[in-house]
Amino acid sequence: MKKSLIRNYAKLIARVGGNIQKGQEVFITAEVDRPDFILMLAEECYRAGASNVFVDWKCQKFDKLAARFETVRSLSCVESWEEAKLAYQADTLPVTIKILSADPDGMKGADREKLTLASMARSSITKPYADRMANRHQWCVAAVPSVGWAKKVFPGERANVAVEKLWQLILMTARADGKDPLTDWMWHNRELKERCDALNAYKFVSLEYKSANGTDLRVGLIGKAKFISGKKSTADGKYFNPNIPTEECFTTPKRGEAEGVVYAVKPLSYGGELIEDFWIRFEKGRAVACGARKNEALLKSILAMDEGASYLGECALVPYDSPINKCGILFYNTLFDENACCHLALGRGYSNTIEHFADYTKSDFTAMGVNDSAIHVDFMIGAEDLEITGVTANGARVPVFRGGNWAF
């Protein structure tokens, strides 16, 4: 892969993803397998104006080892220095960048029950700090290929060939393979905003999903919530793109107003394992039943993570003929697969979809129906024949998707 293309990708993450401002600190989280790219990214962060760049290295193999030998109590512990770092970030609001590269099967065989209990315990301490940062800081999630991930996507290729092919796909779907990715993203963000403006003009009160695979779901919407797209804003007006790539127009549904069943169309990669061929049934907004051909127990553990985990937190609209879906590759990575087609999310809702969100408190968002949870787990439902109908306050029914794509 040409170094110049990878350099442009790093620049895109720093300047469009995080939109780093002069004097801001940057915290990068990344796996240990791509230090070359992280070094390049750090340099681009400095060139964008960062005053300091810190890297928090992760290692999937170490996490699996810890899950094998440590107790639930040990895994659950949030050390004083960890909490001090979280407090520092909540106070100073650095730009946070997460670079994904983990093997989709990297945690296969780990004690899932132990990890789930530990995650629930840790979130009781870490979530309040995340809540303090919500809507107040810039953040971005992007990805680079690792050998394990590349071999999962291209199992018949040699490691170096698989990595090269995955690089090509990442850069293409991230719109980073052209001569001027920053300008390309300016136009991409503009097109997504125009689509959201068209949706918001209808002031839908609910969305109805239907597909021949069995999906038959109605989801209520929040009156003050808007459809927004890839480009977001902090409460004080700093823009950023939290996901690279992104193809979605999304909103936050109203807690307690989801009825029916929905079937996933792609596997869900969660915690280094895959959940495949699954469905979820909702009553009064809550997931009351589910099933999966593979890893059903893991799906049930997600739904039981906390009180809000079994409610919906996002409705995202992505056409079936999106660039990611058209490439015909299953990435086994939610960042990419969720931008291939329509998806929903379990857990935490996005309060920044609420109009004038900076004027409201967390309790205000709760009263409006924004769901709260320690998790936000996207799963893909965009079948080729998916029909989505928007319903207005006066009962008008507007085709939004037909045949898996935009109807207007």
Cα distance between residue 177 and residue 69, in whole Å: 43
Say if residue 248 is in the same domain as residue 156. no
The reply to whether 226 falls in a domain is: yes
Say if residue 73 is in the same domain as residue 158. yes
The reply to whether 180 falls in a domain is: no
The whole-chain average pLDDT of the chain stands at: 96
Asked if residues 13 and 41 have their Cβ atoms less than 8 Å apart, the reply is yes
The reply to whether 293 falls in a domain is: yes
Could you tell me what percentage of the chain is helix, strand and coil, using 3-state DSSP and rounding each to the nearest 5? 35, 25, 35
pLDDT at residue number 309? 97
What Å distances lie between residue 148 and 161, 176, 222, 353, CA to CA? 12, 23, 41, 36
Domain harbouring 143, CATH code: 3.40.1830.10
Domain span at 11: 3-173
Side chain identity at residue 371, one-letter code: N
Counting the structural domains of the chain, the total is 2
Domain edge (last residue) among 155, 173, 191 = 173
Say if residue 114 is in the same domain as residue 46. yes
DSSP string, 122-173: HHHHHHHHHHHHTTTS-EEEEE---HHHHHHHSTTS-HHHHHHHHHHHHHHH
The reply to whether 188 falls in a domain is: no
Average pLDDT estimate for 286-309: 96
Q: What are phi and psi of 194, to 5 degrees?
A: -60, -40
Say if residue 99 is in the same domain as residue 210. no
* 176-227: pLDDT as tens digits: 999 999 999 999 999 999 999 999 999 999 999 999 999 999 999 999 999 9
Average pLDDT estimate for 9-22: 98
pLDDT at residue number 228? 96
DSSP 8-state assignment for residue 21? P
The reply to whether 114 falls in a domain is: yes
Say if residue 34 is in the same domain as residue 168. yes
* 107-157: pLDDT as tens digits: 989 998 899 999 999 999 999 999 999 999 999 999 999 999 999 999 999
Say if residue 208 is in the same domain as residue 157. no
Question: Which among 53, 47, 41 has a CA at the least distance from the CA of 94?
Answer: 53
The reply to whether 100 falls in a domain is: yes
Is-above-0.85 flag for pTM?
A: yes
Say if residue 48 is in the same domain as residue 151. yes
Say if residue 128 is in the same domain as residue 270. no
pLDDT at residue number 112? 87
Say if residue 374 is in the same domain as residue 298. yes
Say if residue 167 is in the same domain as residue 216. no
pLDDT at residue number 135? 93
Say if residue 143 is in the same domain as residue 210. no
Say if residue 286 is in the same domain as residue 384. yes
Side chain identity at residue 317, one-letter code: L
The reply to whether 255 falls in a domain is: yes
pLDDT at residue number 204? 98
Question: Which among 15, 106, 21, 14 has a CA at the least distance from the CA of 64?
Answer: 106
In this structure, the number of other CB atoms found within 10 A of the CB of residue 8 comes to 20
The reply to whether 187 falls in a domain is: no
